[in-house]
Amino acid sequence: MKEQQTAYEQYRREVYRIAWRVQYKAKVVKRRECSFNGIEPATTSFASSSDNKIVIRQMINALPSSTGRTIIYKIYMQDKTEREVALELNMSQQGVNKWKRKMIQELSRMMSS
């Protein structure tokens, strides 16, 4: 009986550790996916954050591809992960990542010209 309790406790602790690692990894992935190249937008007031959102939406709407616009909007404006967007659009997560990177390059090109 005592052996069963110790085995049970060991399994319980191991499952707890695994669950903690999974939650931590999910949080890290979400934080990485939802930041814009590692830069969080700095907002000091409601007016400036509203202005930032308007400018960002205008830039997103200027993107040439509707799929790219949708992906960028969902990831950066709706704070969804690549996996969530992939499920919604019936795509692979890797496909969403490729679109995201292409659209970020396009936005960067638009901003520099």
Query: Does 1 fall in a domain?
Result: yes
pLDDT, position 15 = 75
Q: What is the pLDDT of residue 46?
A: 55
Residue-wise pLDDT for 18-73, tens only, equals 777 777 777 777 776 665 554 555 545 555 667 777 777 888 888 888 999 999 88
Residues 25, 62: one domain? no
Confidence of residue 93 (pLDDT cuts 50, 70, 90): very high
Domain count along the chain? 2
User: Residue 85, Cβ neighbours under 10 Å: how many?
Assistant: 24
Predicted TM-score of the model (pTM): 0.56
Q: What is the per-residue DSSP string for 68-87?
A: HHHHHIIIIIS---HHHHHH
Helices (H) and strands (E) in the chain, counts: 5, 0
Does residue 40 lie in a domain region? no
Tokens encoding 83: 């996996």
**Same-domain pairing of 17 and 60:** no
Strand partners, 36: 39
The residue with greater pLDDT, 103 or 26, is 103
**Enclosing domain of residue 10:** 1-34
